[in-house]
């Protein structure tokens, strides 16, 4: 009995031990299975990663900006790109395609093709070709101009406009704007835009300066003759400046006159404007028996004319001297010039109603009618009966021989019998012949004037005779500086006549 129990107990112990072993063994197997599964999953993940490394999409990167702007006409150099695949650089396998044309404004595309297995991945860069350069305006004349105050600048405009993209633009499209600056200067802006709205602005600067001296005008005559001990009354002068206006109060006077002593005296009038431009004028006074160097009679034939006579009258008035005008028939429009000449102290002489040699020298009656017809017209205009005349071509002309023999001889006699005096000249300017410049007129006149005599100077105020109008101020200044007296011809003037040739 006891033996049986021991055997059962022993078997029970074996069975219990077996159960514990099998239980422990199952736990170990489960743990191993989990580890194996985890390793399998890790292997799969690694395999996937490896497969992606070998067969995944290459990486691509642009060098530079994705959008590029360049100037029209410049060279486009693409910055390129990089690409990597299979852990290697495949940048050299990138295929670049470009349609960029820098000769034309527009938006272009640069295409980059990156190999990916048997196909290409495509990437792009945008290139914008622009025109940002303004046109170039070329001016006529200088960009910097200097003009005198009070003068008007005649704009010379622009010669051409060139644009790098559009080519030559029409100057008619230029917009011009004039701006007056605070200092008195002027800017002229010329603007134009091209097809890309690039605006060009060219500026001409006009500097306004005052270089013009005031004008002094003597009250009364520039030459005065007094008897010994006769009182001298200085009539003074006025001064006007183109910028500063009336400067009469600023005139200074130098010199004095002692009428108790015979001699030549000079009163000098001076004035400066606010820019130190100085003007001077002189009055010459002869006391007693003292005589001037000589007398100058400025005479003008063939006027009046609308563009030359006013300039001559202006100069005479400015210089304070007078002249004699031997006129021909005049229009209603020029009648005012005849009146003005007389009102300002000048003398009017008869040159003839007509200047046509064939008509006026055809007979004595034709010539004399030519004189009296104009005489009547002048008297209606001025109220004065003119008795001084000058033969067309001069008393010594020979062209009259073609039309009537002896006509000048007969005409000169009849003129004198009827109270007329005729005057030729002893100084010729040459302004109706071969002389074409103001300098030449000036030289001819000043070289021809002689001291100690009456100098009758022949000049002309026909239309367009600018050379004489320009020379006249210098001729007068020369005469005054050399002590000559300027007078007008009257019937009391000693007649100077050339030798009659017909």
SS (H, E, C) 162-194: EECCCEEECHHHCEEEEEECCCCCEEEEEEEEC
Architecture of domain 292-486: Alpha-Beta Barrel (3.20)
Burial class for 308, CB neighbours closer than 10 Å (0-12, 13-18, 19+):
buried
Average pLDDT over residues 252-262: 94
Average pLDDT over residues 300-315: 97
DSSP 293: S
Residue 145's φ and ψ, nearest 5 degrees, are -125, 145
pLDDT value at position 175?
96
Residues 119-154 have pLDDT tens digits of 999 999 999 999 999 999 999 999 999 998 888 889
Q: Does residue 97 surpass a pLDDT of 80?
A: yes
pLDDT value at position 1?
47
Separation between Cα atoms, residue 366 and residue 275, nearest integer Å: 60
- 480 close to 292: Cβ distance less than 8 angstroms: no
pLDDT value at position 101?
95
Q: Does residue 208 surpass a pLDDT of 60?
A: yes
pLDDT value at position 47?
58
Residues 10-25 have pLDDT tens digits of 666 666 656 666 666 5
| 21 vs 496, residue with greater confidence | 496
Phi-psi region of 318 (alpha: psi -120 to 50; beta: other; left: phi over 0): alpha
Confidence tier at 48 by pLDDT (50, 70, 90): low
pLDDT value at position 196?
94
From the list 186, 198, 202, the residue with the least C-alpha distance to 140 is 202
Structure tokens at 404: 């009537």
From the list 72, 127, 128, the residue with the least C-alpha distance to 102 is 72
Within 344-465, residue ranges assigned H as helices are 357-360, 364-382, 407-417, 438-448
Confidence tier at 33 by pLDDT (50, 70, 90): confident
Superfamily of domain 136-209: Immunoglobulins (2.60.40.10)
Whole-number average pLDDT of the chain: 90
Separation between Cα atoms, residue 261 and residue 290, nearest integer Å: 10
pLDDT above 90 coverage of the chain, percent: 76
Separation between Cα atoms, residue 441 and residue 429, nearest integer Å: 5
| 20 vs 63, residue with greater confidence | 63
**Can you give the pTM of this predicted structure?**
0.52
pLDDT above 70 coverage of the chain, percent: 91
Superfamily of domain 215-285: Immunoglobulins (2.60.40.10)
The residues that bridge with 294 in the sheet, in sequence order, are: 484
pLDDT value at position 113?
96
Residues 445-494 have pLDDT tens digits of 999 999 889 999 999 999 999 999 999 999 999 998 888 889 999 999 99
Residue 235's φ and ψ, nearest 5 degrees, are -85, -5
Beta-carbon count within 10 A of 391 CB:
26
Domain 59-130 identical in fold to domain 292-486:
no
Q: Does residue 226 surpass a pLDDT of 90?
A: no
End-to-end Cα separation, the chain, in angstroms: 206
Q: Could you state, in order of their start, the residue ranges of all structural domains in the chain?
A: 59-130, 136-209, 215-285, 292-486
pLDDT value at position 286?
83
From the list 311, 268, 243, the residue with the least C-alpha distance to 473 is 311
Q: At what angle do helices 407-417 and 364-382 cross, to 10 degrees?
A: 40
Confidence tier at 46 by pLDDT (50, 70, 90): low
Average pLDDT over residues 89-113: 95
Q: Does residue 43 surpass a pLDDT of 60?
A: yes
Query: If you search the block for the tokens 């004595």, which residue do you land on?
Result: 364
pLDDT value at position 53?
46
Q: Does residue 291 surpass a pLDDT of 80?
A: no
From the list 335, 328, 379, the residue with the least C-alpha distance to 350 is 328
Confidence tier at 272 by pLDDT (50, 70, 90): very high
Superfamily of domain 59-130: Immunoglobulins (2.60.40.10)
From the list 419, 426, 462, the residue with the least C-alpha distance to 445 is 426
Q: Does residue 105 surpass a pLDDT of 60?
A: yes
């Amino acid at each position: 009995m006891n033996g049986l129990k021991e055997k059962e107990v022993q078997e029970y112990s074996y069975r219990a031990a077996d159960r514990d072993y099998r239980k422990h063994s199952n736990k170990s197997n489960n743990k191993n299975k989990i580890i194996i599964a985890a390793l399998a999953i890790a292997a799969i993940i690694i395999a996937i990663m490896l497969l992606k490394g070998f067969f995944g999409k290459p990486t691509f990167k642009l060098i530079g900006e994705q959008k590029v702007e360049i100037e029209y006409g410049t060279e486009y150099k693409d910055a390129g790109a990089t690409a990597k695949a299979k852990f290697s650089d495949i940048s050299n396998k990138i295929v670049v395609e470009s349609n960029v044309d820098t000769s034309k404004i527009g938006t272009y595309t640069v295409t980059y093709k990156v190999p990916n297995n048997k196909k290409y991945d495509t990437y792009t860069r945008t290139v914008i070709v622009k025109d940002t350069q303004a046109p170039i305006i070329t001016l006529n004349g200088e960009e910097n101009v200097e003009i005198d105050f009070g003068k008007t600048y005649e704009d010379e405009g622009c010669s051409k406009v060139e644009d790098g993209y559009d080519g030559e633009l029409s100057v008619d499209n230029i917009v011009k704007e004039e701006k007056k600056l605070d200092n008195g200067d002027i800017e002229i802006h010329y603007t134009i835009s091209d097809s890309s709205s690039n605006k060009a602005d060219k500026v001409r600067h006009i500097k306004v300066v005052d270089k013009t001296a005031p004008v002094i005008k003597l009250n009364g005559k520039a030459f005065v003759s007094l008897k010994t001990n006769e009182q001298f009354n200085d009539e003074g002068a006025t001064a006007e400046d183109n910028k500063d206006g009336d400067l009469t109060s600023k005139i200074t006077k130098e010199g004095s006159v002692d009428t108790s002593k015979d001699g030549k005296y000079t009163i000098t009038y001076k004035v400066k404007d606010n820019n130190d431009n100085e003007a001077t004028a002189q009055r010459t006074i002869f006391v007693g028996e003292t005589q001037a160097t000589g007398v100058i009679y400025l005479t003008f034939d063939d006027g009046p004319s609308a563009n030359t006579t006013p300039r001559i009258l202006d100069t005479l008035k400015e210089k304070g001297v007078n002249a004699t005008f031997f006129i021909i028939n005049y229009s209603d429009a020029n009648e005012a010039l005849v009146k003005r000449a007389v009102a300002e102290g000048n003398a009017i002489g008869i040159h003839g109603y007509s200047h046509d040699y064939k008509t006026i020298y055809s007979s004595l009656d034709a010539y004399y009618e030519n004189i009296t017809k104009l005489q009547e017209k002048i008297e209606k205009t001025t109220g004065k009966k003119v008795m001084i005349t000058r033969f067309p071509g001069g008393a010594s002309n020979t062209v009259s021989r073609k039309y009537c023999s002896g006509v000048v001889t007969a005409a000169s006699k009849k003129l004198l019998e009827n109270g007329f005096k005729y005057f030729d000249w002893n100084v010729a300017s040459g302004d109706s012949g071969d002389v074409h410049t103001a300098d030449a007129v000036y030289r001819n006149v000043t070289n021809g004037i002689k001291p100690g005599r009456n100098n009758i100077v022949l000049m002309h105020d026909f239309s367009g005779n600018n050379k004489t109008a320009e020379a006249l101020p210098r001729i007068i200044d020369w005469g005054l500086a050399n002590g000559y007296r300027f007078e007008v011809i009257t019937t009391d003037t000693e007649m100077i006549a050339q030798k009659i040739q017909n």
